[in-house]
């Protein structure tokens, strides 16, 4: 598979803090974003809870589909990121330095 670039915009203070934490984890911000993206794809959900009020214009069928997918992920019916994949991302990050 080929690689593509992606730009993420964030507050400069958030970026500096994120970079520093990633360095403590032994990885780059790029690797951390790849680990996050893989976890989202493999689990079929954001790997942490995001909550808010349901907008008035949200269709019942769309919300029902979202709820069903979330239950599948919580039941473990979607694969998790394994240790080998995480270690691969860390090794790639160290090669980028």
Segment-wise mean pLDDT, segments of 10 residues, the chain, 97 residues: 83 89 88 88 80 58 68 67 73 72
Q: Which two tokens stand for residue 19?
A: 């970079």
Contact 42, 81 (CB under 8 A): yes
Question: Does residue 20 fall inside a structural domain?
Answer: yes
Question: Does residue 5 fall inside a structural domain?
Answer: no
Question: Does residue 88 fall inside a structural domain?
Answer: yes
Question: Does residue 81 fall inside a structural domain?
Answer: yes
pLDDT of residue 59: 58
Total tally of structural domains belonging to the chain: 1
pLDDT of residue 62: 65
pLDDT of residue 53: 60
Question: Does residue 53 fall inside a structural domain?
Answer: yes
Domain span at residue 49 reads 12-96
Question: Does residue 7 fall inside a structural domain?
Answer: no
Burial class of 93 by CB neighbour count within 10 A (0 to 12, 13 to 18, 19+): buried
């Amino acid at each position: 598979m080929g690689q593509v670039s992606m730009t993420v915009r964030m507050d400069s203070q958030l970026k500096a803090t994120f970079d520093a934490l990633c360095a403590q984890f032994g990885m780059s911000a790029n690797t951390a974003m790849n680990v996050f993206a893989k976890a989202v794809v493999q689990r079929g959900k954001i790997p942490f809870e995001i909550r808010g009020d349901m907008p008035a214009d949200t269709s019942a069928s769309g919300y029902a589909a979202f709820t069903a997918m979330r239950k599948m992920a919580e039941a473990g019916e979607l694969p998790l990121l394994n240790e080998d994949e995480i270690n691969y991302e860390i090794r790639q990050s160290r090669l980028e330095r």
